[in-house]
Amino acid sequence: MLRILNYVLGPLNTNAYVIYDVSTLEALVIDPATDEILPKISDLISSGLKVVGIIATHGHADHVCGVKGLRELVGCRFMLHELDVEVLKESVEWALEWGIDVSFNDVRPDILLKGGEVLRLGSDEVQIIHTPGHTPGSITIYIPSSKVLFTGDTLFKESVGRTDLPGGSWDKLVNSLRMLVTRFERDVVVYPGHGPSSTIGYEVDNNLYVKRVLRGRY
């Protein structure tokens, strides 16, 4: 059984998630946005939690600024899709423009993902799905046992990710959205990179972008 903790961090109100197995207390941290997450993780560690990995849904600054400090704190590996390594480097300049701390600028992934990987967290599978569009290496993380999707900046409640930053592609985002909303059942819960959670069914019924994707309007 998994538990999901959500922390809203940084100037862009990024959702950072801690997911952990209640039996083994093994945990993954998804999108540690800023060092604000460090005392929260320290408290969890004091309660017995063991962070076994850090995953970024993509390489933009507002999703990775806490990676360096967190990796130093817990000594685990940082995972990022291989196509977002350059995005991670370029994010230093964007961070300065957005007023975001750039202390992460020497962070390099320990594990390069391709999509299709299946990780283990306790007794649960953690599936890595390549969903390009917002960035070339954007990923979505699916946990079948809990029927939850962590969509990063690909799919939001009633909205979708922007594609006007370097490496973005509207056509690829449309394909990723179509795959997500047709592959997964309506009751699958969506945990996005920003904003409130949702479900696949809600987005199919209420997200104008998704409705247009399904009607072939894009």
On the question of pLDDT at 133 being above 80, the answer is yes
Q: What predicted TM-score, i.e. pTM, was given to this entire model?
A: 0.95
Q: Sign of the C-alpha dihedral, residues 147, 141, 155, 30? A: positive
- Residue 137: CATH number of its domain: 3.60.15.10
pLDDT tens-digit series, residues 20-32: 999 999 999 999 9
Range of the domain at 42: 2-214
- C-alpha distances in Å from residue 143, one per residue of 139, 159, 174, 188: 13, 22, 23, 10
CA 202 to chain CA centroid, Å, is 20
Q: Distance between CA 110 and CA 79 in Å, rounded?
A: 6
Number of domains in the chain: 1
State the pLDDT at residue 129.
Answer: 98
State the pLDDT at residue 14.
Answer: 97
State the pLDDT at residue 104.
Answer: 54
Q: 205 CB contacts (<8 Å, ≥6 apart)?
A: none
